[in-house]
Structure 1
């Protein structure tokens, strides 16, 4: 269907009228190499009504989605001279799909063709570079020189207090002094004091026993104290006045 001019934000399909349609049929996408072509064909006979050629990289210029609907597109129909293959004339018309799924498949098919062509072109360029390059002339990675290695004939002089001889006033050392230098010895470990011993235990005090009280004087000893056996061994009865 014919459409008005494009606005600043894109084509507005809301102004399109169904009564102004010029063709109703089948849409088919065909690709040959990098060129994709949108063909509008008669459903009954398969006769071509119009075509929209899409060179690689010009998909957005040849097929533009409408700004206000995902089911509508603006396509660039072009007539090409069969002998020269040059474009003779072109016109922009509106394309309407009755279902959103059909519009989605139409847009995805064009994107997939463009991606496939770009991948094939990139693969071909990479293969050509690998085959055309000479392994002997290819750039080899440059190994960085060792900045800490000494060159042939170079010497190094070390000035350190550890390398000086005793009693000398200073100056660099010779190779002989370096060869005879012995590694420093470590100081002996400090002697640890023995741990303090506990004080000796005092012997236990002897146990004292208290003698039991004398037994009760019997009758014989009682009478002995009053006239019994005296110091002289004499015995007798005691007398009372």
Structure 2
């Protein structure tokens, strides 16, 4: 790989205070115990920088002032042999350092603050989770047909239940309402009476609505005219039958004075 194509180095976390301890020989295959390291006398103190280049993480122990490298531990898998936790504390780890010549050694590393140890552990876990996801995505890109497929078919013995009664009720409730045609001025008109029935059935005792109070109805598509917009006036009151202007002098009843006045009126005419 060319130098321009080398992956860049990312800083995962930096912790300012760590101690390094020499490990005593292991008496058995049981886990490491920090209580056996003479914690009051560390071999070296400085800062820890956790970086990543590609899929490999690097634990770098550096001087606090100058940044000079004291030791470096490449980590290709976590959890693994490169980084191990002790059995009696959460602040101490055993790491495997490696020099430029390929020589390896195990040392103990302890964090002054317990929160720094927690951050270091989580940073390593997140990095290798990302490495695993990238590996799975690369495999799917090479073999897209081997990925999981969504199966929507019914399995043997599998059934589905439909509530037909509720569906019919909903259809009946929504199907009974129909829009009414609009009349003049945007008013909705009542539907016509059912066929074969007289319109007088809607009025009890044979009563009919007065024609003087009924409004004109416009059929759909008929233009609005002045006659439709004008409300009909009530019919005039019936007048008494006309009588003979001359009167009936032979059958008139009354006093003589009334008869004399009538005849006088006749003479004057």
Q: TM-score, normalised by structure 2?
A: 0.44
Q: Which has the higher helix share?
A: 2
- The structure number with the bigger radius of gyration is 1
